[in-house]
Amino acid sequence: MLSILGFATIILFMFLVMTNRMSAFVAIIVSPIIFAILGGYGMGLGPMMLEGIKLVAPTAVLLLFAVLYFGIMMNAGLFDPVSRKILQIAKGDPVKIVIGTAVLALLVALDGDGTTSYMIICSALLPIYKKIGINPLVLATIAVMSLGTISGMTPWGGAATRAISVLGLDATEYFKPIIPAILCGSAWIILTAYVMGRMERKRIGIIKIEKTIQEMKTNQEMAASIAEDQPVTSKLVWFNFLLTLTLMVALILGLAPLPVLFMVGFVIALSVNHPNLTEQKSVIKENASHAVPVVMLVLGAGVFTGILSETKMVNSMASDLLTIVPDSLGPFFTVIVALISLPLSFLMSNDAFFFGALPVLAHSASEYGISPMEIARAGVIGQPLHSMGPTSAPLWVLLELVRRDLGQFQRYALVPVTILSLMFIVFALITGAISIAW
């Protein structure tokens, strides 16, 4: 009975989200409440929901301050010098331009917001692509791969945040082991960019272009101002770079929990970049529009998880799912989850996959001695494919910017993005982010 209620909860949630009948935040709270009441758990719903919220509270804090922090960094033009240097070095060579696109896209994707990342990348580099004659689909493919890798797998990005919150994990424990795999994936993206650049160079050759440093600077300033409508200053670029570098080093060394690191980093960045009180209020208000919706989803995921866990629905579902997987394949369950995540991430919204399917997979994996932490890492491996799927909202902004339709883009990008996703499984296994339970 509990298993039926649990699967009905997930099916209802996925139906409501995928048919746009409810927002993910509303559906993720309404769905478990309905079936918990039907199962006779109505009187205990309050404590169950609070237990779930307690689990996800650190993740909600992390996400809030990480998004606010990188919002300030984007406003301050942290990556402007990188973009201008890329254009200086490239000098009309498609190989250098495409590699530069990968470097910039990987850096900008740290912001975690796909729409902002795509707008900055396209505004900075698309005019160069058009002037030289490079296929804009090259830019779109590299941008999607970068966003899926960085934003999709870092704990302040949307997908990993969902996985961490719904499974009640510690963000630092999740992140440190997957960093080598992310770095390997980033290197693979740069290698892919080199191959694509060589193909474009063979097609169009090296084009001599005239573009002054001031023109490039103006172009990048426009790019960084699109999302925030604020003037960009480069006076504090070095300070912001050192602050971000220090934050990343402290994160890797585990000097403090991630929520604390980003909270302190945000306070320092806000105080130095915007010392005026009125300006600080304005910056927080503008960047909060990116953070609040996802924080709401994380808290909603806590309610969802709390109800399914406390009623034992998820345990019952996991037991039933185990009967489907042959015992001989049990040790490979993490790899199976990673492979499953590829098509499911492409076809489903992140809300439907991470809040609906992943908890069941995680509880099933526990029967083979596989930790939820590894299932979370395996689950995010499909993010590059998700970023080019029809349920990825920022993708539609990207397609509009490069003036291509979904079919054209997917035909061009499907092979390299799929190869990247498969390579991520290899990288994750080699670096120990996921393992086989021999």
DSSP character string of 35-104: HHHHTT-GGGHHHHHHHHHHHHHHHHHHHHHHHHHHHHHHHTTTTHHHHHHHHHHHTT-HHHHHHHHHHH
Each residue's pLDDT tens digit, 362-412: 888 887 888 999 999 999 998 999 888 766 767 877 887 788 887 888 889
**What's the pLDDT band for 424 if we cut at 50, 70, 90?**
very high
Q: How far apart are CA 429 and CA 355, in angstroms?
A: 25
The reported pLDDT for the residue numbered 391 is 65
User: What pLDDT score does 211 carry?
Assistant: 47
Amino acid 188: pLDDT:
97
- Is pLDDT of 4 > 70? yes
Label residue 99 by pLDDT band (50, 70, 90): very high
Position 171 scores a pLDDT of 85
Kindly report, residue by residue over 179-229, the tens digit of the pLDDT.
999 999 999 999 999 999 999 988 888 776 554 344 444 544 444 444 444
Cα 277 from Cα 368, distance rounded (Å): 54
CA gap 106, 98 in Å, rounded: 12
pLDDT in tens, 322-376: 677 677 777 888 998 899 888 888 767 777 788 877 888 888 888 788 899 999 9
pLDDT-wise least confident of 70-74, 233-237, 383-387, 429-433: 233-237
What is the percent of the chain with per-residue pLDDT over 90, rounded to a whole number?
Answer: 22
Higher pLDDT, 307 or 23: 307
Task: Provide mean pLDDT across the span 255-283.
Answer: 88
Mean of the per-residue pLDDT values of the chain = 81
| Comparison of pLDDT for 425 and 261, the residue scoring more | 425
pTM of the model: 0.69
Residues with Cβ within 8 Å of residue 301, at least 6 apart in sequence: 28, 52, 56, 162, 165, 166, 354, 355
8 A C-beta contact, residue 383 and residue 112: no
